[in-house]
Amino acid sequence: MRKKIEEKKWRDILSDISENVTEVSYRSWFAPLVPMEIDEDAAVIYFATSKKQIMEVLEMRYIPVFERAVESVYHKKYKVVVKNKTESEIQQQLNMGTTQIPSGNNPASAHTSGKPPISTPKPKAPPLQEENELKEEYFLNPQYNFDNFIVGENNKYAHAVAYAVAESPASTYNPLFIYGGSGLGKTHLMHAIGHYILEHNPNMNVLYVSSEMFTSELIKALQDPKNSSGMMTRFKNKYRSADVLLIDDIQFLEGKESTQTEFFHTFNELHDSGKQIVISSDRHPSKLRELDDRLRSRFQWNIVADIKPPDYETRVAILRKKAELENVEIDNDFLDVIDLIAEKVKFNIRELESALSRIISYSTLFHEHIDVKYARKNLNDIFSTRDFNINCETIKKAVCKKYGIKLADIESSKRKREFSHPRQIAMYLCREMTDSSLPKIGEYFGGRDHTTVLHAYDKIASEIKNNEILADEIHQLKEDIE
């Protein structure tokens, strides 16, 4: 027999859950749920959400916590099922009963008999929940926090300023602009900032959004003629009432003049009000050519921190941390596999972790021992692409295209900086990205000897440390070559 979940039971379940997860996790994944019904015969209890991400995170991480809370309230074991439904489907099913069951976000559901109320900070802006309007909500990924962010030479400055911002929002580093290539940890740091702030300041209004979704919401608001239904007002209130605005991938705003204008005013309003702004991009602000000069200038008002590809030691540390989180037994064979992956996958943390996850998954499914031979066999498509497609010729062509010179120029003895500098960069990349020896690299550049190649490598390596623009150019070249 199926019946509605009693309101008091739902409040008690939420209360139990709130005692066993962090405040951030409770607000992000449990409070938005809507209790639907309980099937006593099949011992199944159903909940719904209009956000697919919530369903996926709950299924992946929190079902055991959920089921223990249900058992403590009903004194019986039930299987918890979370369904992804549209808001209209949820409302239609609720209306079939006599009582509308509130979700955990409903203030009326916060008081429980015999248990303390569940505190869910309310947003300062009017909710954007009208049907077909600006109803997107953005949650912080619970897996992205400072505790599992591996710090190395490539990212220690960005990590330090991000942590300082999290500890004391809007006091020193405002705005904070973090840039670097895809898959290097920018989003991880932004989510970590949000988590830390909410853990220590739960009443703060922290808003994380990608610039793509900011644009999407603005477009919806602009479709409201003369702001007749107040969509533009709600849009502005939502973003301008944030205590902390975390906006990801700002490069998406390039070429979008209306969106840039709105973000310019949002930026000014927040900054003038002493609110924290954190921005990420795949490039240094000066490289965002199609962005309004006023925005580029503001992005450089305070700290601009870059994240470079991780060095070998950091890659190994990342993989070991990943293995620990996956509860993998790390024996000598597995350490050899970690070394192999760290050696082969150099420029993207996401790809690095993906390669390890793939090996672990294969091993689990087929009950096979993980060693170097097994890894080479099952990651052959990744390794072969990197081993055979990247060579000195590929690198020379990419550098020539980047700097607008000919192959003959890069191989020549011309000493003008417009030729010598790209030549040195190409030599540097050949040593970084291939297994070619110094003499072999010299052969690709007009028969130069190994000392010339070594000098070029050392010169560029030294310049990168003090020249953010050059470091960014070389990182972009690496991504293009890969």
The answer to whether 150 touches 317, Cβ cutoff 8 Å, is: yes
Q: Give the integer Cα–Cα distance in Å for 20 and 16.
A: 7
Q: How many CB atoms lie within 10 A of CB 480?
A: 11
Residue 185 among known ligand-binding residues: yes
Beta-sheet pairing, 2-4 with 34-39: antiparallel
Is residue 113 classed as helix, strand or coil in its secondary structure? coil
Q: How large is the angle between the packed helices 349-366 and 312-325, nearest 10 degrees?
A: 40
Q: Is 441 exposed, middle or buried (0-12, 13-18, 19+ CB in 10 A)?
A: buried
180 is in an annotated binding site: no
What six digits make up the tokens of 453? 């190649």
What is the C-alpha separation between 404 and 424, in angstroms, rounded? 15
Token readout for 397 is 């062509």
Helix axes 63-74, 7-18, angle to 10 degrees: 130
187 appears as a binding residue in the annotation: yes
Task: Locate 367 and state its tokens.
Answer: 């009950």
Show the DSSP H helices in 32-86 as ranges.
Answer: 52-57, 63-74
The stretches of 2-62 forming alpha helices (DSSP H) are: 7-18, 23-25, 52-57
Number of separate helices (H) and strands (E) present in the chain? 22, 9
183 is in an annotated binding site: yes
Annotated binding site: 183, 185-187
Annotated binding site for ATP: 183, 185-187
